[in-house]
Structure 1
Amino acid sequence: MASELLALKKASGLSFAQLSQKTHYAKSSWERWVNGKQFPPRHAVESLAGLCGTPSAQLLDLWDRAQAEREAGAEEAQGAEQASDEGGAPDAGAEPDAGAEPETGDAPPRGRRPRFLWIAAVLGVVLVAGGSLAAYLTLGAAGDASSPRPSASVKVAGPQTGCKGTACEGRDPKKMNCGSDAVTVRTGSIPKDLVIELRYSRACQAAWGRISFAEIGATVVVNNSDGAAQADVVHYDRDVYSPLIAAPDDGSVWVCAALPKDKARSCTGRFIPSQED
């Protein structure tokens, strides 16, 4: 992603200061994104493509794939951490296997003869079972070759989520696993840095709002055409996401954001799943 941004910047002939003047983003933000120090927001990538007169579809597709990989990596890391927390240490007080005694002289070590007998018994069961299976298959093939056999069907299951539609109202998208298939479907911004994103999960049939590069006290509100709304406020750091809201196929959802003590709000466009999903 960074190499593509660097190539576009060089092609444009613009400095970081000039990029800042022509977009809603600060000079320092452009320097971090182009040099690969920080992953850029989708809207910034689209803005740079527009400045260079380059079709944005391919670049935005690259951004979507990179974002999906980042989210998948975060989920794998979280799963590994949980597995590490749940795993137990081996029992240091366990007694050694009797079959592991060292051999002395010419006599066979004690404890091994039962193990050999057990292995022999298992092999005998396997051979008998194999012979029975071969006989069954032979008789079945000779009995009725024309009889239809059931065909196996394979269904690809979607991601397992904790809620769907209106049942998701007010719930955390991460805890409900709605981020497993989520995509950013609409974006907006508030000069200079604040980025607004509308996130949508088809598996959950729900959406939420997210703001980045904000400041403490900034708000994000996600709305739908049924009149429902969910909001959250940046309490620390520079980003926050709202709870979930239902995203009906034929309804619309959108996100608005506002800076502290600022009554004016900036909103994304509306997203209708049945028209674009």
Structure 2
Amino acid sequence: MASELLALKKASGLSFAQLSQKTHYAKSSWERWVNGKQFPPRDAVESLAGLCATPSAQLLDLWDRAQAEREAGVAPDAGVAPGTDGSPPRGRRSRSLWIAAVLGLVLVVGGALAAHFTLGLVGEASSPPPSPSVKVAGPQTGCTGTGCEGKDPKKMNCGADAVTVRTGSIPKDLVIELRYSRACQAAWGRISFAEIGATVVVNNSDGAAQADVVHYDRDVYSPLIAAPDDGSVWVCAALPKDKARSCTGRFIPSQED
């Protein structure tokens, strides 16, 4: 359930704050539901599907199945012995849970069969194009977080989902970029239109730093550095024989999801 919500959130391009503004649920609630910390209410799932212009039937069917499994697996309240006035007898409770599980399965199977025959009839009549699928899994990477320290972003496949989150420059032409990968939870610095001897340094708020120098051509990128959600990362660059450095602004991942 959480992975589907996360995929929809990413597809929508909305932040948790924007989701809160467009629905009647709080930003903190959306964060817990999308990250799997808490099971979402059915209305919230339907609201997110509506915001993303995605058919809600499949998502709500998934919610129904998850809810049925949760209800079937409910344990007795802590501190109340089975068979007392605070909980039903063990046999009756087990039978109730079994009935709930069977009913949930019947509803799921019945709904799936109904959807199959309905879609089959509609397909024969109008042959609509298939609905686009939502990709849930992110890119396969070779490292995450502090495990990426000092490694090459290309070799770790961190560039697969990377974006430039901050930029800067040194007159006249040198361009500074802070590159960030959510999948790797890491960042690196890149400079372009530089000259031999120019340096790039990526830093984080934990005190770590990684650097590289232009040895030939006009560009270079630094090794990876960890970019924790609640920490900050930034990039600085300097020209040869110039002690003055120019830096990008700081990027804090948790504030810009």
Stretch deviating more after TM superposition (128-137 or 62-71): 62-71
1:42-70, Cα deviation, whole Å (9 max, x unpaired): 99999999999999999999999999999
1:105-149, Cα deviation, whole Å (9 max, x unpaired): 999999999999999999999999999999999999999999999
Gaps of 5+ in 2: none
Gaps of 5+ in 1: 74-95
Q: Which has the larger radius of gyration?
A: 1
Runs (4+) of structure 1 moved beyond 3 Å? 1-73, 96-155
Residues 31 and 167 (structure 1), Cα distance of their counterparts in 2 relative to 1, 3 Å cut: closer
CA contact under 8 A between 1:219 and 1:259: conserved in structure 2?
yes
Distance in 1 separating the partners of 2:35 and 2:112: 67
Structure 1 residue 163: Cα displacement: 0.2
Distance in 2 separating the partners of 1:128 and 1:181: 36
CA contact under 8 A between 1:209 and 1:241: conserved in structure 2?
yes
Say how many residue pairs are matched.
255
Structure 1 residue 198: Cα displacement: 0.1
Residues 113 and 226 (structure 1), Cα distance of their counterparts in 2 relative to 1, 3 Å cut: closer
Distance in 2 separating the partners of 1:124 and 1:52: 28
Distance in 2 separating the partners of 1:130 and 1:193: 65
Residues 129 and 229 (structure 1), Cα distance of their counterparts in 2 relative to 1, 3 Å cut: closer
Residues 197 and 38 (structure 1), Cα distance of their counterparts in 2 relative to 1, 3 Å cut: farther
Distance in 2 separating the partners of 1:222 and 1:270: 11
CA contact under 8 A between 1:42 and 1:187: conserved in structure 2?
no
Distance in 2 separating the partners of 1:124 and 1:55: 22
Residues 217 and 177 (structure 1), Cα distance of their counterparts in 2 relative to 1, 3 Å cut: same
Q: How does 1:94-133 map to 2 (within 5 A)?
A: none
CA contact under 8 A between 1:165 and 1:206: conserved in structure 2?
yes
Residues 247 and 130 (structure 1), Cα distance of their counterparts in 2 relative to 1, 3 Å cut: closer
Stretch deviating more after TM superposition (16-25 or 127-136): 16-25
- Normalising to structure 1: TM-score of the pair? 0.46
CA contact under 8 A between 1:24 and 1:192: conserved in structure 2?
no
CA contact under 8 A between 2:65 and 2:108: conserved in structure 1?
no
Distance in 2 separating the partners of 1:130 and 1:59: 16
Structure 1 residue 194: Cα displacement: 0.1
Distance in 1 separating the partners of 2:122 and 2:62: 56
Residues 67 and 243 (structure 1), Cα distance of their counterparts in 2 relative to 1, 3 Å cut: farther
Distance in 2 separating the partners of 1:12 and 1:227: 34
**Residue in 1 that maps onto 2:47:** 47
- Normalising to structure 2: TM-score of the pair? 0.49
Tell me the secondary structure at the aligned position of residue 5 of structure 1.
helix
Structure 1 residue 156: Cα displacement: 1.9
1:180-220, Cα deviation, whole Å (9 max, x unpaired): 00000000000000000000000000000000000000000
Distance in 2 separating the partners of 1:43 and 1:129: 22
Q: How does 1:1-277 map to 2 (within 5 A)?
A: 156-277=136-257
